[in-house]
Structure 1
Amino acid sequence: MAGLLQRIRGKGLQVLCRLLFAVRRRDDLVRLGSEHGGWTVPASVLEAGAICYCAGAGEDLSFDLALTDRFACRVLVIDPTPRAVRHFEKIAGAVHGLTLVPFGLWNRDETTRFYAPRDPRHVSHSIPNLQGTDRYFEAPCRRLTTLMREFGHRSLDLLKLDIEGSEHAVIEDMLDAGVRPTILLVEFDQPAPTLKTVALVRELERQGYGLVNIERWNFSFLLATGRPAV
């Protein structure tokens, strides 16, 4: 019963989001990746050599691979989850253009806990402990600006955040640091306070981002202005 009520609540909130936010549809939108792990992006913005940070991979790299195969982007896959790391290492010999960064993306440079999902078949762990479990592993985390300095990147063409509830803290830190990826892809993981999500989307709009697609809780944003350097 609780699961049914949660699904009903989720559907209702998705409808509310579509009413609250103006989506600026574009003719160049394409969906890349699998049904579960795919994202919608403005294709005309991406070009060969584009710098893409994809935080949160799990065992589905279909989107990351599409960025390299279709656009020849340079992709950093950011995920410290042991199963995600093992999956990447298993297929590493067959892929090109992907670099694994086995760290968490966070708003501080520190080692922190990642809490397990309730269902052991699931891969994704969360810093804010979205599912209220006791099991965890610890991993080093980096701020976005720290990773950019370490890899010598002054700007980003694309940032994907599928980081199990840490997206609010990471985006706030990103904005405070003056980093503005051209394409910003965010999954707002549930459960999350609706007003908090609405406030963050509004702040992104004030910072020059336009919402170009909503699919469930996956939001695709495009920066309307130039990209400032770090």
Structure 2
Amino acid sequence: MPSVHIHTSLKERQREQREQLILQVAEEVLLEKGYYETSMEEIAVRVGISKGTIYLHFRGKDELIAAILQRDLRLILDNLDTVIAQYTTARTKFEALLTFLNNGLLCKNSQLLSSIYNGVDIQRKLKEQSSFVREVIEFLFVHITRIVEEGKKAGEITTTIATPVIARTFLALITPRSYDALLQQKYHTSMNSDETIQQIGKIFFEGITNKK
């Protein structure tokens, strides 16, 4: 019996490894060609498996993108505390959070995130996972709220604005849809991603009015 258990565990690990490889290759092809030009057959060829094998893991491109997004959001959940803990002030924590989200999710997957918003099938698939998306948003909200409260106690952040308002405003600033439009230069901006992040931070920390 022990040998059966070991054999089953090995098969499960192999399945998980193959699934991660499919996601990695699918992400590369999707970013290279876009949602509509990507085929499950090409993904299978690049992975080195049959198209039928892919369908054992994912039922279509919309499910692949949802899985890629969920994987990246999991990375945020797993690493956010470590990133924030390296800094001591509210501003440096917020700046680190902006950079972390930019490098780990928004910048790398801006084209992919754009596909998520434009694809009807993908939107349907994400609605099926809405509880997980809400979990991530609330996770971020809790952490941002904590930073704001710490900043208020330290005198870094004004107490005249309610903490939930500040937290939700920060979340709105990093909404992938508007951020993606900036990176794709739809509004005639010539900034790169780092410059965009710096200016988003400037709006959040300093506002847009001239100081008298």
The structure with the greater share of residues assigned to helix is: 2
TM-score scaled by length of structure 1: 0.26
TM-score scaled by length of structure 2: 0.27
The structure with the greater share of residues assigned to strand is: 1
Pick the structure with greater CA Rg: 2
